[in-house]
Amino acid sequence: MKYLTFLSLAFLVVACGNSTGNDNNNKDILGLETSKVAETDITGSSVLFSRINNKAKVFVDDSLIYESKTILSGYDVDEKVNLDPFVSNGAEVIRIELFNGVEPYDDQIDQKWEIMYDLILEGEVVDFVNESIYENKIGRTYEASYKIEEWVFDSKK
């Protein structure tokens, strides 16, 4: 019985682990990735990419303003896309797309796609995305649109 009690106590200590909810490796208590914004200057408006598998694009009002290179391995990145030159009145729409595989996106197998980024508007994090899916889909696999006036710019109207 003492042996069983000791094992139960040991399991409890190991299972509880880091009770702060965040360690220095940007993972929460369950080991899930968390935002890296605390390590970054967050003035102005930007998209901070932390992971891209395989290519990301950022549009403002349907104009392409950023396209990453195709990343074939080592998907962790540190890419900051400055939105300030493209955002003026808050009526803009930001669209983020992710493409899986390698162009021309036909006759290939790439089981997993993943993207992780923070969207920062006027120095405030308004969205953190961490998507990772196994689905054997090639081409555009992720798209998100943000209408800026729904998030900020109340003081500028």
3-state secondary structure the chain: CHHHHHHHHHHHHHHHCCCCCECCCCEECCCCECCCHHHCCCCCCEEEEEEEECEEEEEECCEEEEECCCCCCCCEEEEEEECHHHCCCCCCEEEEEEEECCCCCCCCCCCEEEEEEEEEECCEEEEEEEEEEECCCCEEEEEEEEEHHHCCCHHHC
Between CA 79 and CA 49 the distance in angstroms is: 5
Q: What is the pLDDT of residues 86-140, one digit of tens each?
A: 998 889 999 999 999 999 988 888 889 999 999 999 888 999 999 999 998 999 9
> Highest-confidence range of 2-11, 29-38, 97-106, by mean pLDDT?
97-106
Single pTM value for the model: 0.73
- The greatest distance separating any two alpha carbons of the chain, rounded to the nearest whole angstrom, comes to 70
Distance of CA 19 to the CA centre of its chain: 24
Is the pLDDT at 45 greater than 80? The verdict is: yes
Domain ranges of the chain: 1-34, 36-156
